[in-house]
Amino acid sequence: MAAGVSRWWHGVIAVVVAGSLVVQLVLLGTGGADANSGEGAVVSLGVRIWRLFSYFTIQSNLFVLAVCVVLAARPLFDGPVWRVVRLDALLGILITGVVYDLVLANQVHLTGWAHVATVGFHYVSPWAFVLGWLLFGPRSRISWATVAAAFLWPAAWLVYIFVQGAFTHWYPYPFLDVTRIGLGTAIRNAVFVVLVAVVLAVLARLADRHLPALVSRPKAKIPVN
């Protein structure tokens, strides 16, 4: 029963994320406003698409999409690489939701389909995915080695953002915009977000070790002589 609910839960999240991505791409192709590729910027379609997929928000949602598709098919799927990918999805989308709510939401004023995509990426996907992880598990899947490996992607993303920004002078988020706030402040902000992610990762590992889960592997039956 629980496995069936887990399949539906993650299947719905996958549909929401995929639908939001389709809406976002259509907005790019038609010149509509969007929050993830430089709203109002006069740039080519290719540049807007590149910017879109440079956003941590979009990359986190792609992780969520991939994980939810797998879990919708196989709720108990496991493996060392899979554990890292799932933790990346969890931490990435949690940071996306928290940072958007606390820092970015009051700076974004969208309507229509752009608003729909933003709600899907920044509200439905983060909190539904985190709640799904808390409810369904399965556990325990997070070791300290998994935590360390999960930070390779965010670290690589930050290096990429600062390196490309040095040449393009474009940064996806205002708190990382070196051209506006300076390199020192941007790095300080990035370090702060990383430290928050470390705290969340530790909490996730503790929760993974101690919280119950609705989905778990059936215990092996002991033969009765």
What pLDDT digit, counting tens, does each position of 21-44 carry? 999 999 888 876 665 655 555 778
Residue 91 predicted with pLDDT over 90 = yes
Question: What is the pLDDT confidence band of residue 1, given thresholds at 50, 70 and 90?
Answer: confident
Q: What is the 3-state secondary structure (H, E, C) of 25-41?
A: HHHHHHCCCCCCCCCCC
Instruction: Quick: pLDDT tens for 65-79.
Output: 999 999 999 999 999
Residue reference for tokens 């070791």: 143
CA atoms within 13 A on the CB side of 114: 18
Question: What is the pLDDT confidence band of residue 223, given thresholds at 50, 70 and 90?
Answer: very low
DSSP one-letter code for 109 = -
Among 151, 120, 102, CA closest to 36: 120
The CA distance from 11 to 14, in Å, is: 5
> For residue 35, what pLDDT is reported?
59
Residue 85 predicted with pLDDT over 70 = yes
What mean pLDDT, rounded, does the chain reach? 90
Question: What is the pLDDT confidence band of residue 175, given thresholds at 50, 70 and 90?
Answer: very high
Q: How far is C-alpha 57 from the geometric centre of its chain's CA atoms?
A: 6
Burial of residue 92 (CB within 10 Å: 0-12, 13-18, 19+) is buried
Q: Which two tokens stand for residue 178?
A: 């070196």
Q: Which two tokens stand for residue 142?
A: 């997070």
Instruction: Quick: pLDDT tens for 95-128.
Output: 999 999 888 878 877 778 888 999 999 999 999 9
Among 10, 23, 224, CA closest to 120: 23
Query: Which residues make Cβ contacts (< 8 Å) with residue 120, sequence separation at least 6?
Result: 16, 17, 19, 20, 23
